[in-house]
């Protein structure tokens, strides 16, 4: 059932969907006083809610995944944070109150910014006109409490593994493999502190047929060691057992996006493949210096989230955490969903307790391809990241226009030339840069104006010649009639 996000009579539409001030407004704005209730537009699951702070542009938002019920995702922007009534994982029903109007983030006044995203959702899908979607929508009903999402049974198509350091010295990874684990990620170092168990763990894991990789705990240089020193230590620990590496980003001192990039660049300079970053949600979204960066520039995402952190075997813990259907497989850390999920830290493995356990949705061959950048798996699973897909879409929009049909295919509507020229001129007047399409449009406009000016000048010159010729003729006639005229 389609339900309106606000009750009739509590709002006015203050801005529509479409081009606005040289940009594209991807939603519908409902102006209303702070505290006005807002409602779920359909049955679905909360992707992000009360636990998410500092959303770029919006300040706070509520993100609903309603793909199963209506094939849409919904974004509620600028909501009052302390009025948000739902959190990630809650199930909501159409017409249920989920929060209240706010004025947070980049806002010109209290309002709800409401977006509609088609399949497969905000990541990978395309935004749509909310006004069309809400035509004939039912009015929201009463307030109900969010229902906790049930724990689903894990499906097939995954493998489990561990990450270890010298804290697990003496653990038999051969025994771990016999217990059903398929991969091991082994620490090389913490800052410049060497992990002396790295090579013994690596030999043990690989002799058992496990897929392997390394990880380094990245320290902020202000903690006492430079990035170059840390990477040199890590590479030295690996020695002749150099393996692809994950960048462990969780130091209490925080890291900037530049720090993470420098770690990646320095490892690659030393011949070590960087797979991506390891982190957990509050750290990446709250401890990265300068604000939450996108994760795609650093590779893939290995996400840690323990929930209630149950104990038991790796398989038991994975099932308790939701298995392959856990909502955290869809969590967009830095605008990218994880490929690896650390779902607990209290599992029992090979006689050891309190072991970190991880899951990969795929086969051992596919995981090896992920770690090593190879393409040996029968079925290629390394799809473009969500942010890469978004960048391709934006690039295509630049060349063919932003219109799409119901299948999400470009309609090749092109761009309004005069509008592009105006946007380009306004940007330049405000000291801003131009997109490629805007530069082309402005260049064509200048060329057209120059050609028009040249044509007018040529016509004026012809008129001048004609006038001079006529004047000469008149003088000649006058001279013939009066010989004294020279």
Confidence (pLDDT) at 485: 55
96 with 39: CB under 8 angstroms?
Answer: yes
Handedness of CA 459, 465, 471, 474 (dihedral sign): negative
In the chain, the N- to C-terminal Cα span, in Å, equals 97
Q: How far apart are CA 484 and CA 262, in angstroms?
A: 93
- Give the DSSP per-residue string, 73-92: EEEEES--GGG----TTEEE
Note the pLDDT tens digit of each residue in 110-145.
999 999 999 888 887 889 999 988 988 899 864 444
Asked if residue 102 lies in contact with residue 80, where contact means CB atoms within 8 angstroms, the answer is yes
Residues in the chain, pLDDT under 50: 142-155, 380-382
Cβ-Cβ contacts under 8 Å for 208 (sequence gap 6 or more):
173, 174, 176, 177, 178
- The pLDDT of residue 402: 57
pLDDT number for residue 226: 98
- The overall pTM is greater than 0.85: no
- Domains annotated for the chain, with CATH where assigned, are 10-132 (2.70.70.10), 157-370 (3.20.20.80), 392-479 (no CATH)
* pLDDT at residue 151 in the model: 37
| Predicted confidence (pLDDT) per residue in 58-82, tens digit | 999 999 999 888 889 999 999 999 9
pLDDT at 119: 87
Q: What is the pLDDT of residue 148?
A: 41
């Amino acid at each position: 059932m389609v339900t309106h996000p606000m009750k009739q009579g509590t709002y006015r539409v203050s801005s529509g969907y479409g081009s606005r001030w040289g940009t594209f407004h991807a939603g519908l704005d409902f102006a209303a006083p702070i505290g006005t209730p807002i409602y779920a537009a359909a049955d679905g699951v909360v992707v992000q809610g009360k636990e998410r702070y500092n959303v770029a542009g919006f300040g706070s938002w509520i993100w609903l995944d309603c793909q199963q019920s209506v094939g849409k995702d919904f974004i509620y922007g600028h909501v009052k944070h302390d009025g948000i009534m739902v959190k990630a994982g809650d199930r909501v029903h159409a017409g249920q109150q989920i929060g209240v109007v706010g004025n947070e983030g980049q806002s010109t006044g209290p309002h709800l910014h409401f977006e509609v995203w088609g399949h497969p959702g905000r990541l990978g899908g395309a935004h749509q006109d909310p006004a069309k979607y809400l035509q004939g929508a039912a009015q929201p009903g009463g307030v109900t409490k969010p229902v906790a999402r049930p724990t689903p049974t894990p499906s097939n198509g995954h493998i489990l593994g561990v990450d270890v350091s010298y804290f697990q010295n003496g653990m038999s990874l051969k025994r771990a493999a016999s217990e059903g684990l398929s991969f091991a990620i082994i620490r090389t170092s913490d800052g410049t502190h060497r992990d002396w168990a790295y090579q013994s763990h690596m030999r043990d894991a690989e002799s058992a047929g496990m897929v392997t990789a390394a990880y380094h705990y990245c320290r902020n240089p202000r903690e006492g060691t430079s990035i170059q020193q840390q990477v040199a230590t890590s590479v030295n620990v690996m020695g002749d057992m150099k393996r692809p590496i994950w960048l462990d980003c969780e130091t209490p001192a925080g890291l900037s996006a530049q720090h993470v990039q420098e770690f990646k660049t320095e490892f690659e300079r030393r011949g070590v493949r960087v797979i991506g970053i390891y982190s957990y949600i509050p750290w990446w979204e709250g401890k990265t210096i300068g604000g939450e960066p996108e994760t795609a520039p650093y590779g893939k995402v290995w996400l840690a989230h323990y929930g209630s952190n149950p104990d038991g075997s790796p398989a038991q813990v994975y099932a308790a955490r939701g298995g392959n259907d856990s909502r955290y497989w869809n969590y967009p850390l830095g605008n990218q969903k994880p490929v690896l999920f650390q779902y607990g830290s209290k599992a029992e493995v090979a006689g050891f307790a309190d072991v970190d356990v991880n899951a990969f949705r795929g086969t051992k061959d596919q995981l090896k391809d992920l770690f090593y950048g190879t393409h040996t798996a029968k079925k290629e699973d390394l799809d473009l990241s969500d942010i890469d897909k978004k960048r391709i879409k934006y690039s295509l929009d630049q060349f063919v226009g932003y219109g799409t049909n119901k299948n999400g295919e470009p309609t090749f509507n092109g761009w309004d030339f005069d509008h592009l020229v105006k946007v380009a001129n306004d940007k330049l007047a405000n000291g801003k840069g131009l997109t490629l399409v805007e530069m082309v449009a402005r260049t064509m406009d200048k060329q057209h104006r120059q050609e028009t000016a040249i044509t007018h000048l040529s016509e004026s010159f012809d008129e001048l010649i004609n006038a001079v010729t006529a004047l000469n003729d008149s003088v000649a006639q006058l001279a013939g009639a009066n010989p004294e005229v020279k």
